[in-house]
Amino acid sequence: MRKSKIQLLQTTLHKLFIEPVGDSKYENRRPSNPFEYEKIILETHRDCSKYSGYWSVLTPPIESIRESTYHVQLGLRTATDTEDVGPYRFEVLCSAVIVVLPDRGEGTISEEDLALQYGLTLLYGVIREQISTLTYKMVWGQVMLPTMTFLDEKKQPTDSTNALTAEAERLQ
């Protein structure tokens, strides 16, 4: 075990919507099956940008981290153009403030991509647990999303035509 190259400073849940699908085929389903959503198409919104403004109120413990602080967002929802969404329709949008530590050393990945990859991984865990916890007492029983990795993500230009991206921008 060793200290991570990044540190999570803050998480924010911007939107959380879950509703049961009105279909009795889920009545006898096995709850907490992480493979249930494996073939379901999930729409995502991902974003990462520098966020030195986080330190406008706080004094950073190390001055150099002002310039290596990032705001990362992850939105996840069931597809809106299909009926095959599993036992629940949901939409979740959350964000995090991530700092890349100055002693991370030089690597083959940019600082921004490192913040994006680790940030999305942490946020997906938050979303996965929220959905699991909230569906525990819902009509079709608990849902557990499959474990995902974001370690191959690279910063992409934001697609402002995506409805989930537009919603994320509206909430900022």
For the entire predicted model, the pTM comes to 0.84
Asked, for residue 143, whether it belongs to a domain, the answer is yes
List the CATH number of the domain containing 63: 3.10.420.10
162 found inside a domain: no
Query: Domain for residue 119, yes or no?
Result: yes
Confidence tier at 160 by pLDDT (50, 70, 90): very low
Residue 64 lies in a domain: yes
CA distances from 26 to 32, 80, 171 (A): 13, 19, 33
Structural domain boundaries enclosing 56: 6-154
**pLDDT digits 0-9 by tens, 18-74:** 999 988 888 888 777 777 788 788 899 999 999 989 999 999 988 889 999 999 999
What gap in Å lies between CA 36 and CA 95, rounded to an integer? 26
Residue 31 in domain: yes
Q: Is residue 86 part of a domain?
A: yes
* Domain contains 161: no
Q: Look at residue 42 and tell me if it is in a domain.
A: yes
Distance CA 44, CA 170 (A): 16
pLDDT in tens, 98-157: 999 887 666 678 899 999 999 999 999 999 999 999 999 999 999 989 888 898 888 765
> How many structural domains is the chain composed of?
1
